[in-house]
Structure 1
């Protein structure tokens, strides 16, 4: 008999093959799927985006725009325009990382078994929303090649010019509008995954078009964007039926924190003492107090001592010694720390009222902003109608968004504190009136107060004698330091095109 010699290596391979047989089947949970569906990306992506915006609103926008003052005589105080380069990382890293969720949602909604134009549209709207915040914060950013490292191995993406980013965002929003118009009733959005509109496609369409109005207005003054000025006008007139926009507070884009399971406001994770440590700025609280604004408990106005009432204290603002008062923003370091004044936490009631647990802090965009956009366009002759009509509509809906039961006549309300529309005022006077009320409407809306101030110079902010940076409002955020070493070629190209990587370098739409 002949011996058959089987190599040891082959025996080992056969043994391993025998051991592996059925392994994959045995270790697969039959109740779970290995494939992702579009709706599985939405809820987490929305929460992440809103959280990054809320944190940046609190510690950057609010300090720059004199909503709050993080009192102290140390260095690195935003309210003194004393920036640190390492602050640049948070929003950049968070939004670019999370952008992959929106793009994956879009790709999954293109697959034959998952084909759904509604999810494609929502993805494009959310991408446009987040990219607009990134470019308006930093200027030129990675865009066309962003987040392609995983699939295309583009680890050093080019920085696109801001003008090109805006043009492509308008294309995305136009596509989203068309997709939602064509989406049949069978292509639904998951109500549980959609934390903003609970699956209402019509409201997503209004939000997308309203976002386009915001961004069109931001670049309408640029000569090279003349065709988009026409688009802006047509969206509100001849093409209005094809571009539905927000028409009431019910259309507002807000991620309402329920406090249930994972849906916890990022503010609720702060320590109470840290939340209360930041005082309100005089510019913000003095205007609310002097205009008898119902969003704070105005019963204490002109009362040296009193008791707060929770019925009219939606923002949870705490009085000090019975009165509402704020701290001068930009005060000099050498004068010593200021005594804390009113802040966003009121414990004078049986139940404390605070923005830490307020469901509506997940503000994305609201209807009042649309009315103020119309007011400015009408003032500039780009939209028919009387600007004061839109001014009053905006002011009223800014209040009733937070105080739905408030029924007072808005004209009477503003006239009682001499804040009514001034027909005899100059163009700049009227812009100031519009943007003071718009400033209040943009409360908690990511960095929009800062963006609008950089675009218009309104509202006029007082300048403390302790401001750094020669008293000049920063025009952008630095690029993250690590980008200089991880993507040096494209970083240098962006700086050469846009200007020095400094906070006073104006982004494209700020330049003449």
Structure 2
């Protein structure tokens, strides 16, 4: 009898326990939060991180190679002498592959019925292409079709795709993005740090990026016919279906407002370190000798304060020759990027809102100029040349009242119809070089593609005086993905800085 009662009590207890368990997870879930991610949640932070990686590598790598700055010193590992260590490779590789996971997650979330949004799908494809293009143009063959699949597909050793195949697929992604964005599905303006929710402008950026990448490979026999035809389609025969960036306001820029998360990564650099790097002669001489308004702004009242924050020396702008020989002369810093007290009113580069440059209108105009010069589209190349040069100045100085023809003529750098093809290319790409100031690695990529602008060669250059063609692969990739690493090296060439990537090879 006692045993029977104990059994009954036990059964009742179990029943009550089960009843208490019902709805337990719901009761212990915060009703004000969600465990579900939405497409927009992947966007802002990933963009901030991506632009930060680009800005840091622009500052200490691209600027040094492309004679914008000189990090003075006689030690080893001086990039301005074409000397850099293998560990330089890790930062960009690691950072961008991490953010690619976020961009891909944004796409997959935007495919779900509850979140379905064609605009987020299209923006994701653009951001994936933008990121992959920087990676492949920096390293060559990279993990692409199998990259970022370790979590979902357990592919922990992705194969390296050939750069030709990567470009073909990037073109496909950008065409798909254009079609998706045509639908105009609304996106959240608060979480869009580039275009504040303008789907139309994202579409224009995607097609402008398309032009950048088409131009980069249009000389390669494997894709030449397609690339030139597509450039003509975008710029001429089918313009209504391929809107592109058409003015400065439509430039793709993550503006550092100084509020919340939008604080420039340059602000994390100590003021004395930011000032320590000298301006290179090649960069400053062109600006000074052409009386460029970006370094001499009358409305600021003094030549020592200007939009790019370049400090003069004894009233003049003086640079340091890039690639100078070790021990040849005790070079000291001359002009440099000036960073003043926060309350001084000086708009220094260290806190410049436009430093988060992704792609600007001027670059698009110079793409047009080159395409017209080469006869791929109709029209006079000097029209786009003038537009590109003027818009670059007005991006930084919206109230500039000069005319570009008068400015260029007075500086003896004007367009001349009598110039040779090479001289016209040099004029286009000298101005494009200025337009690409702060734009990730694009100055370096364009110089490798064209040889312009022609850079002086200092006596101290290493690497045989040859401009590096790529970065090394990160060292750890050799041990973490040995089979595919070796396959990539066998196909592309030695893992060395002089091994040309596909679009550089004859």
TM bracket, shorter-chain basis: over 0.9
Aligned to 2:181: 180
Equivalent of 2:465, from 471, 483, 505?
471
Equivalent of 1:343, from 336, 341, 349?
336
Q: 1:11 to 1:403 in 2, by over 3 A?
A: same
Shift of 1:423: 1.7
Q: Does 1:424 align with 2:418?
A: yes
Contact (CA 8 Å) 1:345, 1:352: kept in 2 or not? Answer: no
**Aligned equivalents of 2:44, 2:390: Cα separation in 1:** 31
Contact (CA 8 Å) 2:278, 2:334: kept in 1 or not? Answer: yes
Aligned to 1:394: 388
Shift of 1:260: 0.6
Equivalent of 2:327, from 326, 329, 334?
334
Aligned to 1:322: 315
What TM-score comes out, normalization by structure 2 length?
0.95
Aligned to 1:409: 403
Aligned to 2:283: 284
| Deviation per residue, 1:74-95 (Å, 9 max, x gap) | 1101000101001100000000
**Aligned equivalents of 1:224, 1:62: Cα separation in 2:** 32
Shift of 1:20: 6.0
Shift of 1:17: 7.0
Equivalent of 1:199, from 194, 197, 200?
197
Aligned to 2:121: 120
| Deviation per residue, 1:438-486 (Å, 9 max, x gap) | 0000000000000000000000000000011000000000000000000
Contact (CA 8 Å) 1:40, 1:193: kept in 2 or not? Answer: yes
Aligned to 1:264: 263
Aligned to 1:508: 502
**Aligned equivalents of 2:295, 2:98: Cα separation in 1:** 38
**Aligned equivalents of 1:162, 1:434: Cα separation in 2:** 27
**Aligned equivalents of 2:496, 2:415: Cα separation in 1:** 39
**Aligned equivalents of 1:16, 1:77: Cα separation in 2:** 70
Contact (CA 8 Å) 1:289, 1:298: kept in 2 or not? Answer: no
Q: Secondary structure at the match of 2:443?
A: helix
**Aligned equivalents of 1:74, 1:17: Cα separation in 2:** 72
Q: Which runs of 5+ in 1 are unaligned?
A: 301-305
**Match runs of 1:76-95 below 5 Å:** 76-95=77-96
Q: 1:29 to 1:334 in 2, by over 3 A?
A: same
Shift of 1:379: 1.0
Q: Secondary structure at the match of 1:425?
A: coil
Q: 1:27 to 1:337 in 2, by over 3 A?
A: farther
What TM-score comes out, normalization by structure 1 length?
0.94
Equivalent of 2:370, from 376, 384, 408?
376
Shift of 1:41: 0.8
**Aligned equivalents of 2:168, 2:385: Cα separation in 1:** 29
Q: Secondary structure at the match of 2:400?
A: coil
Q: Which moved more, 1:106-115 or 1:17-26?
A: 17-26
Q: 1:19 to 1:459 in 2, by over 3 A?
A: same
Contact (CA 8 Å) 2:304, 2:315: kept in 1 or not? Answer: no
Aligned to 1:303: none
Aligned to 2:144: 143
Shift of 1:229: 1.6
Q: Which runs of 5+ in 2 are unaligned?
A: none
Shift of 1:385: 1.0
| Deviation per residue, 1:471-506 (Å, 9 max, x gap) | 000000000000000000000000000000000000
**Aligned equivalents of 2:314, 2:304: Cα separation in 1:** 15
Contact (CA 8 Å) 2:339, 2:350: kept in 1 or not? Answer: no
**Match runs of 1:362-373 below 5 Å:** 362-373=356-367
Shift of 1:351: 3.0
**Aligned equivalents of 1:425, 1:140: Cα separation in 2:** 38
Q: Which moved more, 1:332-341 or 1:462-471?
A: 332-341
